[in-house]
Amino acid sequence: MGTIIIGVLLALSFIGFVIFAMKGGNLTVGFFTMAVLWTIIGLVPLNQAIKEIFTEPVLNYGKTAAYIIFGSWFGRVLVDTGIAGAISKQTEKVGKKSPVLATILIAIVTMLIFTSAYGVGSAIAVGVILFPIMFSIGVPRNIATVIFTLSIGAAMYINNVLFVQFQVFFPEVEWGPHYQKFGFIAMGVQAVVVILFILFNARKIKNGQPEVLEEMASTTEQDKQVPVYTYLLPILPVVLSVFAKWDSIPALLLSILLAFLLTGKMKSYTGFVAIMNETAKTAISDIAGLLVMLFCLTMFQSAALHAMSSFDTVFANIVPDSKLVLVIAVCILAPLCYFRGPLMLYGAGAAVGALLIGTGKFDQYFLYGLLVVPSMMGVSSCITQSWNLWSCNYAKVDTKSFLTTGVPWAWFATVINLFVAYYFL
């Protein structure tokens, strides 16, 4: 009886959290409140809660926070050195002759940048360049927003900064050939879906009304000229990570230094120190709120593990033994990733992941793919993802329009990638 009451209270509080998130509630407040509520509902002793829910998870997240900081810094450096802008402007030239082709190139550019760059700060810095370009060639605002967010989501499959965040839930999974094969295929699948989305909306793009934003007109004359070979820098950290087996931090750091060097920012010591400090300061301030939210999320994840521990036996009896049946079930239930639901690892999915691992029925690589793919759906098209929310606000696209435009395509990519995970993980 007690277990039933706990289950009902957990479900009701989670529904309340979903409603709170849908209405635009602050996720930091939401996650912290949920952590406290689920700690109380789960009857976790005070001293144990202080240590295992509100202290250790946050401290253990320090390594991952370092990856996020360097990823955000790299994204800021790409923008402030003019590299991201120069790459983007090349697509604008194509847009005057073929807006559909230019839109596809913009999607590809976005993917290339975010194979290594990470964070809402990087997304904002790149978005304020790419959105005006898309608007200027006639791409409707709701379509432009979905293209941008789905393209970032595609790149996240091989973004090591995000990988290490999800790796926390699956300690046996490593960044190596076994995962990378899946990651590149999954990125390719979502990239193809983005291109199909653009082609599906080709008529709307061709017949769209071009808009020239004030900020675009004011910055045209200030575009920075950079060497063409610097266009390769966005993918350098991935190349070093995959082929040279470097950790992400030295790979990102070397790429940052090369960006400064190759764009002439190291010509004087004073100038180099100034831009280094400025970009680092801006990058960290860009993600300060995100980091606090993620710290509160780790508290909620730990609280979820404790609160749902009494359901281990029930869960083990419900979960099918067949991988294929499980994949099909997740394909159907994939939208449960939205609003940090049970299929989003950055939410209640953390508890689901722990319960699935606890059954001992499946290999952790398979479980990683099973939960990361729907999580990527959320990363690509859920309004609670920070850069998705910013994109909607910047493009003045309402939540309903964003979801109705993007969800079917994100779901399509998710279904395919779940079967990719089934065959390759």
Residue matched to tokens 């202290």: 55
DSSP-assigned letters across all residues of 320-353: -S-HHHHHHHHHHHGGGGGGG-TT-TTTTHHHHH
- Token couple for 347: 């939410």
The percent of residues in the chain predicted with pLDDT above 90, rounded, is 43
Question: Would you state the pLDDT for residue 22?
Answer: 64
Question: Per-residue DSSP letters for 57-98?
Answer: HHHHTHHHHHHHHHHHHHHHHHHHTTHHHHHHHHHHHHHTT-
Amino acid, res. 149? T
Task: Report whether pLDDT(1) > 70.
Answer: no
Query: What's the rounded Cα separation, in Å, for the pair 47 and 54?
Result: 10
Is 22:402 a contact under the CB 8 Å cutoff?
no
Per-residue model confidence (pLDDT) at position 259: 94
Mean pLDDT of 394-405: 89
Q: What is the mean pLDDT of residues 338-348?
A: 81
**Res 2: pLDDT:** 75
- Kindly indicate the confidence band of residue 95, based on its pLDDT and cuts at 50, 70 and 90: low
Parent domain of 328: 2-424
* CB within 8 Å of 357: residues ≥ 6 apart: 170, 364, 367
Range 84-117 burial, b when 16+ CB lie within 10 A, else e: bbbbbeebbebbeeebbebbbbbbbbbbbbbbbb
Stretch 343-350: mean pLDDT, rounded?
Answer: 80
**DSSP code string of 182-204:** HHHHHHHHHHHHHHHHHHHTHHH
pTM assigned to the model: 0.80
Number of independent structural domains in the chain? 1
Q: What are phi and psi of 54, to 5 degrees?
A: -105, 0
Is a pLDDT exceeding 70 seen at residue 220?
no
Torsion of CA 373, 374, 379, 384, to 10 degrees: -160
- Token pair of 181 as six digits: 């094969």
What is the chain's alpha carbon radius of gyration, rounded to the nearest angstrom?
Answer: 22
Over residues 252-278, the mean pLDDT reads 94
159-168, 204-213, 334-343, 389-398, range with the lowest pLDDT: 204-213
Q: What is the mean pLDDT of residues 188-201?
A: 98
CB of 100 closer than 8 Å to CB of 198: yes
Mean pLDDT on 399-425:
94
* Least confident span in 95-109, 175-189, 190-204: 95-109
Tens-place pLDDT, residues 139-160: 999 999 999 999 999 999 999 8
User: What confidence tens digit (pLDDT) does each residue in 59-72 have?
Assistant: 988 888 888 889 88
pLDDT of residue 79: 85
DSSP state letter for 354: H
